Homo-oligomer: A and B are copies of this chain.
């Protein structure tokens, strides 16, 4: 069971990045997304709407108190940050725990406490890039490529893959 906690959301500036983090979490195997920072009902609604139409029952909620979310979580807490040692050094150890996972995804200014509260601080390389990319790569490795295998039984809409062009099928 994978939960993604998105820290420090800012309503206007981060709208699309946070939406992409949440959709990436869902497509790459997370069952729950918790947003923190500024409350933003539009994102909660739009992601819940995607989850309803495309299936899979993602739970998405808002919690102002991210400290309590991290503190109370039972399982392994992994914080993605460009300042940490590389994922390649730790991923085997993290996977071997076969535990529930809380993946903590920062925004631009992550409080120092997060680095202390996490069980692991993990970098997807030490270059500046994107929390969306970091979430994707971590979950890709952690789930052995769930994004290529997952299908959602209750989907109202799905893609019929074509070599050229677009096709969706509605149930």
A123–B161 contact, CB under 8 A? yes
Chain B residues whose C-beta falls within 8 Å of the C-beta of A50 in the assembled complex = 128
Q: Does A39 contact B (CB under 8 A)?
A: no
Residue of B nearest to A20 (CB): B130
Residue of B nearest to A133 (CB): B136
B167–A83 contact, CB under 8 A? yes
Given contacts A133-B24, A137-B136, A140-B137, contact A161 B83 (CB under 8 A): yes
A145–B88 contact, CB under 8 A? yes
Q: Which residues of A (103-136) have their CB < 8 Å from a CB of B?
A: 112, 115-116, 121, 123-130, 132-136
Name the one of B115, B127, B130, B162 contacting A136, with C-beta atoms under 8 angstroms: B130
Chain B residues whose C-beta falls within 8 Å of the C-beta of A140 in the assembled complex = 137, 140
Residue of B nearest to A165 (CB): B115
Chain B residues whose C-beta falls within 8 Å of the C-beta of A158 in the assembled complex = 126
Name the one of B23, B125, B166 contacting A147, with C-beta atoms under 8 angstroms: B125
Chain B residues whose C-beta falls within 8 Å of the C-beta of A147 in the assembled complex = 124-125, 127, 129, 137
A26–B159 contact, CB under 8 A? no
Instruction: Sample 28 A-B pairs with CB under 8 A, ordered by A number.
Output: A20-B133, A23-B128, A24-B129, A24-B130, A24-B132, A27-B125, A27-B128, A27-B133, A28-B125, A28-B133, A50-B128, A54-B127, A83-B161, A84-B162, A87-B148, A121-B162, A125-B148, A126-B161, A127-B147, A127-B150, A130-B132, A132-B132, A133-B133, A133-B135, A133-B136, A134-B136, A137-B140, A137-B147
